[in-house]
Amino acid sequence: MARRTGRRPGNPDTRESILDAARAAFADKGYDGASIRAIATSAGVDPALVHHYFGTKDKLFLAAMQAPMDPLDVLDAATEGDRDEVGARFVRVFLRIWDGPGGAAGVALLRSAVGTEWTAKLFREFVVSQILRRAVPRLGLDEAEGRLRVSLAASHMAGIALARYVIKVEPLASAPAEAIVAAVGPAVQRYLLEPLPGVFDLAESATPPA
Amino acid sequence: MARRTGRRPGNPDTRESILDAARAAFADKGYDGASIRAIATSAGVDPALVHHYFGTKDKLFLAAMQAPMDPLDVLDAATEGDRDEVGARFVRVFLRIWDGPGGAAGVALLRSAVGTEWTAKLFREFVVSQILRRAVPRLGLDEAEGRLRVSLAASHMAGIALARYVIKVEPLASAPAEAIVAAVGPAVQRYLLEPLPGVFDLAESATPPA
């Protein structure tokens, strides 16, 4: 059945060219070094078109990663309310996304992140620019300690996603989400907001990477 | 410079044929369903040759996975000594392997595990037969609770490996191992041996997977 189409959401080939150029720029130059202007040039389009299709650089990065959610939304949902329940809310919101229609995209994102050195680097830029950099001030954490705290919490949740949705180890794979919230919430709470004796002294005494 | 060779460790092609047949059998039939006899038949060799090259079925599985360590050794090292320090010892031994020459094999194993549905299934069989089934009795855990406890601990350590060695998120990637032991050891200890209020009630009330 023929029907009239409304305003089209842009030429799919052009969109894909922009996303390819964005992935290359974010992986090669990092989030800060990649500019919308350079991405547009590389894709052979006007920078205004990149903004028109994708909005901000953050939104372009999310689209390039085919991320199942904006980490900012998870952060908003987890940090509103009682500070003693931040860990539980992080785990609950995270599992709701993975248990929902975004789960398949999450598995694809994890597969891609782990696939090669290049995709791992792209994913690292994503974690730093979209998660760590936003979560540390939002949680009111000290800058020096905050990144280690957030990366411990995020890596724990990534491990749960790996075991539950990719490897599908039982009983973790079929456990109800609230059982996992009860188990993992306190661990995430501790990483983010509770004392971690010894951890930062040891981390600070380390020699910087070569 | 020519020199005499001693007894050869077997024909490389034959070894590879056996390992290919083993991977297919473990993924398709599971650990329990895969027999040395059927693997030998599939590889076109005598079962005695499989035993000669690889020893037990467990050792054959480890070789087929190119595992950087035998989980049994990690379990031995972690469970000997003070029960209050089991979590810290698990994390310490685990990081020692990944920080050492076995680290590259660990990254390859994680990449392979996450790569496809088939390799994920193979890795799941590995986790169940080589880790969960052994760790639950060794830690003196209740069978009903033990698998969820061990899979929570193992998935947490897998997430740390993912973030530190594959994605290489800072400051986790360059933090000294003992800082990570101080941070993650208590979480692993809690999963394995401390009360987890609410977790098992919720897990038991779940409907079984369809």
Q: Taking CB atoms and an 8 Å limit, are A196 and B184 in contact across chains? A: no
Of A173, A182, A203, the CB nearest to B202: A182
For residue B192, pLDDT over 90 is answered with: yes
The answer to whether residues B90 and B145 touch, using CB atoms and an 8 Å cutoff, is: no
How far is residue B176's CA from residue A199's CA, in Å, rounded to a whole number?
Answer: 10
What is the pLDDT at residue B161? 95
How many Å from the N-terminal Cα to the C-terminal Cα in chain B? 64
Which residue shows structure tokens 């994920």? B120
Chain B residues close to A164, C-beta within 8 Å: 155
Q: Taking CB atoms and an 8 Å limit, are B163 and A147 in contact across chains? A: no
Map out the domains of chain B with their CATH numbers.
12-65 (1.10.10.60), 71-196 (1.10.357.10)
Q: Say how many CB pairs under 8 Å bridge A and B.
A: 177
The answer to whether residues B139 and B79 touch, using CB atoms and an 8 Å cutoff, is: yes
How far is residue B13's CA from residue A80's CA, in Å, rounded to a whole number?
Answer: 60
Residue B36 CA from chain centroid, whole number: 20
Shortest distance, CA B68 to any CA of chain A (angstroms): 18
What is the pLDDT at residue B87? 97
Chain A residues close to B191, C-beta within 8 Å: 183, 187
How far is residue A45's CA from residue B162's CA, in Å, rounded to a whole number?
Answer: 37
Whether residue B210 lies within 8 A of chain A, CB to CB, comes out as: no
Among the residue ranges A50-59, A193-202, B9-18, the one predicted with the least confidence is: B9-18
What is the pLDDT at residue A208? 52
Q: Taking CB atoms and an 8 Å limit, are A151 and B169 in contact across chains? A: yes
Three-class secondary structure assignment of chain A: CCCCCCCCCCCHHHHHHHHHHHHHHHHHHHHHHCCHHHHHHHHCCCHHHHHHHHCCHHHHHHHHHCCCCCHHHHHHHHHCCCHHHHHHHHHHHHHHHHHCCCHHHHHHHHHHHHHCHHHHHHHHHHHHHHHHHHHHHHCCCCHHHHHHHHHHHHHHHHHHHHHHHHHCCCCCCCCCHHHHHHHHHHHHHHHHHCCCCCHHHHHHCCCCCC
Per-residue pLDDT tens digits for B55-70: 999 999 999 988 888 8
Q: Taking CB atoms and an 8 Å limit, are A209 and B132 in contact across chains? A: no
Q: Taking CB atoms and an 8 Å limit, are B171 and A151 in contact across chains? A: yes
Whether residue A141 lies within 8 A of chain B, CB to CB, comes out as: no
Which residue shows structure tokens 């083993």? B22
Specify which of A53-57, B66-70, B108-112 reaches the highest per-range mean pLDDT.
Answer: A53-57
Chain A residues close to B122, C-beta within 8 Å: none
What is the pLDDT at residue A2? 43
Backbone phi and psi for residue B88, each to the nearest 5 degrees, phi listed first: -60, -40
Of A113, A124, A171, the CB nearest to B148: A171
Per-residue pLDDT tens digits for B6-54: 444 567 789 999 999 999 998 888 889 999 999 999 999 999 999 999 9
Chain B residues close to A159, C-beta within 8 Å: 155-160, 162
Record the tokens describing residue B30, joined without a space: 């599971």
Interface pTM (ipTM) of the complex? 0.88
Q: Provide the residue type at B21 as one letter.
A: A
Name the pLDDT band for B1 (thresholds 50, 70, 90). very low
How far is residue A61's CA from residue A18's CA, in Å, rounded to a whole number?
Answer: 11
